[in-house]
Chain A
Amino acid sequence: MRVPRFLLVVVLAVVAVVAGGLLSTPGPARSQQPADVLLNVIASGAKRLNIAIPDFTLVGGTDPSGLVKQLPAVVGNDLNFSALFSVLAGAPAIPANNPAAQREAWANFAAAGAHAALLGLLTTRADRAEVEMRLFDLTSPEQRLIASKKFEMPVAQARRLSHKIADDVVLQFTGEAGVADTKIACTVAGGGAKEIYVMDYDGVAPVKMTTTRSINLSPAWSPDTRSIAFTSYMNGYPYLYRLFAFEKRPMQLLAGYGGINSSPAWSPDGKSIALTLSKDGNPEVYVLNVANGALRRLTNNAAIDTEPTWSPTGREIAFVSDRAGLGNIFVMDAEGTNVRRLTQAGFNTQPRWSPKGDAIAFTSRQGNFDLWAINPDGSNLRRLTAGPGDNQGPSWAPDGRHLVFQSSRTGSFQLFTMLADGSEQTLLTKGPSETTSGAWSPRLP
């Protein structure tokens, strides 16, 4: 099916008029509704925007480490991962200050099917790198400049510089930033211990966060991305701690009650942690005030109540209970009232509320373990994975479009990513140690 040519012309004309009005007068943030609708159209149809990213152009300083190639390569990986773009990388750099060469290059990319192009102008000063990103609309006859923006980072953080550029490209085209400038925390097994690691969202540059030589479980990012709450046996018993991922700051004990101190989930405002304590006899869900340690008990039931997860509004909490037999997912108001059952059949655990609020992903055992999702009102139950192996432990990216999870399909548990509809399942960690409990961070500040 082809769109009639006159319709394309009309649409582009509308775009041009709107652009003329808006580009020159930056205003307050608008509703993202139009962009979201369009984004959904793209995602469900698996259609991508073609973007050309030639090697960056060095316009100042020196480049002994080859950033002009490294930076666009990472940007390209990020944009391909977004599933919104199809990237051409590796083409030669556009000569600096040569409009004719640039125009000819863009025309050739456009002839090859590119809808957009990204020009990167690199300047290095001592140990810092600055890139001016220029985005062009190759579907317009004048190769219109869509946006121009500068990013700066230490050279040692070159990957992060690329991630920020990629996230801004996604922002320019969809109204919401990408998720390349995020981290994934996880646990890595070895020698009878499980230590917590943090790596880039794409699995690169893992950093060991704990060296307790004990079992450490359930890492959970604070909304400000500064700290990770987790359960650890470092003092013998399963207490709740937090570590500071990017600061030289000691770990803190957050909850050291008798029994289990498990399943931490930060409230959206970062002031509280919902968790499971068994100090009063059996596992119940509580809310811990991080500032003063005060506790509020939410559940009161002879059955197991555990694994709380907040709705992004902070007004509701989903959790797991076996009060109706096997473990199933329930939802309650954040005060512990108005409990209603969400899942019916099977053995369902590990609920994780989407940051967009519209879905709860979870793990279901029906034979093997697989990932499912359901709307918070109980509608639209759908299966996201169907083997091979066991698939468990979903964690949402901050855009609600991607998930990280663990799968045993390669023989040992490793982390994978996928889109929220279960497509694009991709191996993230390659072992050999068992790697589990992936926790996707919010966007870094």
Chain B
Amino acid sequence: MVPRPGRALFTGHRWTSAVLVAPLLLLAVFLAGCPKRPATSAASAPAPVVATPPPAPSAAAPAPPAVTPPPPAPAPSTEPPSTATPAIPAPPPGAPPKPSEFAENENLRDIHFDFDKYDIRPDDARILDANAAWLKTNQRNLVLIEGHCDERGMSEYNLALGERRAKSAMNYLVAQGVAANRITTISYGKERPLCTEKTEACWARNRRAHTLTKAQ
């Protein structure tokens, strides 16, 4: 019935040294722990927090103390109508066409970037010159520029870096005479690599600005 004495019963920590500390810990109980609450208190736990509500207690069981849920948080102005519970909230009004509406365009080429950089390299400027020329002669096309990063680093910083890359390409095209209101940028950060090998050649391919179009 009772446990056998013996250190092996316990889960492998330093009991002897812990003995020295025990009085201090116990002192801590009285200095800080106990004054906060009565020695005996019957505190029922707050409302269970579960994705699906638990079944209601049966009629035979004494009802647990009712815990009033906190009032709903103030809803932001963008909250969808409360009557509908869509799986996905509507996009904001005036949002650009969805990226899925843009298509690959073989007339437009990618540009690439050095690690953690977003300035346009000279060779890539010539690519953007050609892209700008095509876009100026094909005015009925909207433009989506994707900014991408390699897999190294963190999601959040790479989202900002990819945004800077897309914006660098966009600013170059605008300077070449492409109307800014035709162009939308989107950063995918490191989330959509072209290539998943862990080599510099692969990472270099992933650090890119990619241009898509949508005919109007």
Q: Please determine whether A88 and B9 come into contact, CB atoms closer than 8 angstroms.
A: yes
Q: Please determine whether B39 and A235 come into contact, CB atoms closer than 8 angstroms.
A: no
Q: Please determine whether A115 and B31 come into contact, CB atoms closer than 8 angstroms.
A: no
Contacts of B66 in A (CB 8 A): none
Q: Please determine whether A217 and B159 come into contact, CB atoms closer than 8 angstroms.
A: yes
Contacts of A151 in B (CB 8 A): 43-45
Per-position 1/0 for B26-60, Cβ under 8 A of A:
11111111111111111111101111001101101
Residues of A263-279 at the interface with B, using a CB-CB cut-off of 8 Å, are 263, 276, 278
Residues of B36-92 at the interface with A, using a CB-CB cut-off of 8 Å, are 36-46, 48-51, 54-55, 57-58, 60-62, 64, 70, 72-80, 84-92
Residues of A4-33 at the interface with B, using a CB-CB cut-off of 8 Å, are 8, 11-12, 14-15, 18-19, 22-24, 26-32
Bound Cα distance from A160 to B45, whole angstroms: 10
Q: Please determine whether B95 and A256 come into contact, CB atoms closer than 8 angstroms.
A: yes
When A250-B85, A260-B160, A281-B167 are in contact, do A15 and B23 touch as well, CB less than 8 Å?
Answer: yes
Residues of B179-198 at the interface with A, using a CB-CB cut-off of 8 Å, are 184-189, 191-192
Q: Please determine whether B160 and A217 come into contact, CB atoms closer than 8 angstroms.
A: no
Cβ-neighbour of B26 out of A137, A211, A236 (below 8 A)? A137
- A-B contact number at CB 8 A: 377
Bound Cα distance from A297 to B2, whole angstroms: 66
Contacts of B22 in A (CB 8 A): 49, 115, 139
Q: Please determine whether A154 and B48 come into contact, CB atoms closer than 8 angstroms.
A: yes
Interface residues of A, count at CB 8 A? 144
**Interface: A35 (CB within 8 A):** yes
Q: Please determine whether B154 and A350 come into contact, CB atoms closer than 8 angstroms.
A: yes
Bound Cα distance from A238 to B35, whole angstroms: 49
**Interface: A226 (CB within 8 A):** yes
Bound Cα distance from A278 to B31, whole angstroms: 51
Per-position 1/0 for A209-239, Cβ under 8 A of B:
0011001011000101111000100111111
**Interface: B127 (CB within 8 A):** no
Q: Please determine whether B154 and A363 come into contact, CB atoms closer than 8 angstroms.
A: yes
B95 CB, nearest partner CB in chain A, Å: 7
**Interface: A190 (CB within 8 A):** no
Q: Please determine whether A112 and B3 come into contact, CB atoms closer than 8 angstroms.
A: yes
**Interface: A34 (CB within 8 A):** yes
Residues of B5-20 at the interface with A, using a CB-CB cut-off of 8 Å, are 5-7, 9-20
Bound Cα distance from A282 to B5, whole angstroms: 67
CB nearest neighbor in A for B88:
A234
A432 CB, nearest partner CB in chain B, Å: 16
Q: Please determine whether B17 and A251 come into contact, CB atoms closer than 8 angstroms.
A: no
B192 CB, nearest partner CB in chain A, Å: 8
Stretch with Cβ within 8 A of B (4 or more), from A62-70, A171-179, A336-344, A373-381: A171-179
B26 CB, nearest partner CB in chain A, Å: 5
Chain B, interface residues (CB within 8 Å), range: 35 or more
Q: Please determine whether B156 and A153 come into contact, CB atoms closer than 8 angstroms.
A: no
Say what secondary structure dominates the interface of chain A: mixed
CB nearest neighbor in B for A24:
B39
Q: Please determine whether B89 and A253 come into contact, CB atoms closer than 8 angstroms.
A: yes
Q: Please determine whether A444 and B51 come into contact, CB atoms closer than 8 angstroms.
A: no
Bound Cα distance from A5 to B9, whole angstroms: 26
Stretch with Cβ within 8 A of B (4 or more), from A125-133, A395-403, A414-422: A125-133
A4 CB, nearest partner CB in chain B, Å: 11
**Interface: A436 (CB within 8 A):** yes
Of B9, B20, B84, most buried by chain A (CB within 10 Å of CB) is B9
Q: Please determine whether B18 and A50 come into contact, CB atoms closer than 8 angstroms.
A: yes
Residues of B151-195 at the interface with A, using a CB-CB cut-off of 8 Å, are 152-157, 159-161, 163-164, 167, 184-189, 191-192
Residues of A331-372 at the interface with B, using a CB-CB cut-off of 8 Å, are 347, 349-350, 363, 365, 369
Of B62, B64, B163, most buried by chain A (CB within 10 Å of CB) is B163
Q: Please determine whether B58 and A113 come into contact, CB atoms closer than 8 angstroms.
A: no
Contacts of B12 in A (CB 8 A): 86
Bound Cα distance from A323 to B45, whole angstroms: 49
Residues of A74-106 at the interface with B, using a CB-CB cut-off of 8 Å, are 76, 80, 86-89, 91-92, 95, 101, 104-105
A92 CB, nearest partner CB in chain B, Å: 6
Q: Please determine whether B3 and A30 come into contact, CB atoms closer than 8 angstroms.
A: no
When A11-B23, A234-B88 are in contact, do A291 and B76 touch as well, CB less than 8 Å?
Answer: yes
Q: List 27 A-B contacts (CB under 8 A).
A: A11-B23, A11-B24, A18-B27, A19-B30, A24-B39, A26-B38, A35-B28, A35-B33, A48-B14, A89-B11, A112-B4, A113-B7, A128-B57, A148-B39, A150-B42, A152-B64, A156-B50, A215-B192, A217-B156, A236-B186, A252-B79, A256-B78, A259-B167, A292-B76, A293-B76, A307-B157, A350-B156
Q: Which residues of B approach A to under 8 Å, CB–CB? A: 1-7, 9-46, 48-51, 54-55, 57-58, 60-62, 64, 70, 72-80, 84-92, 95-96, 98-100, 116, 152-157, 159-161, 163-164, 167, 184-189, 191-192
